[in-house]
Amino acid sequence: MLKLGIYVDGLSIPGGTTDIRAAIIFDDSTYTPSNVIIDGTTRYNLYTRGLYLIKDGDGNIIDPMYLLNNIDKFKYVNDGSISPPTGSLDDNMKLDELDETIPLTFIRANTVNNFGIL
């Protein structure tokens, strides 16, 4: 059966909520999800939920693809549930602006003051 797996950053705070960093769809008959461990330390905790148990504030079931498109609108509640979404569900986590002070990699490679030294 298809289920929803969500990754949260590090250990969750008891009684609180945790930001969802990433999410996947998986089939629990072929895949056993697990935490992401790097160098012996848990980097992401993975929690699983039934695919059609995610609801909005009015109790209506939300299409799982909507949740995937907007994971920043949801939070993992440390009782195992997922909080209802906040805000609109149709902006697909869109960014309003970029921090343009950070150079693009190619631009940085070309910021050689004196090409004569190349």
Residues of this chain that interact with other proteins (CB under 8 A) are 2, 5, 7, 21-27, 30-31, 33-34, 36, 38, 43-44, 51, 63-65, 68-69, 71, 91-95, 97-99, 102-108
Burial class from Cβ neighbours inside 10 Å (0-12, 13-18, 19+) for residue 51 reads middle
Identity of the residue, 14 or 106, whose beta carbon is nearer to other proteins in the bound complex: 106
Q: Which is nearer to other proteins, 38 or 117 (CB)?
A: 38
**Around 36, how many Cα atoms within 13 Å sit in the side-chain half-sphere?**
12
Q: How far is the CB of 50 from other proteins (least distance, A)?
A: 12
Q: Is 70 exposed, middle or buried (0-12, 13-18, 19+ CB in 10 A)?
A: buried
Report, in Å, the least distance between residue 71 CB and other proteins: 5
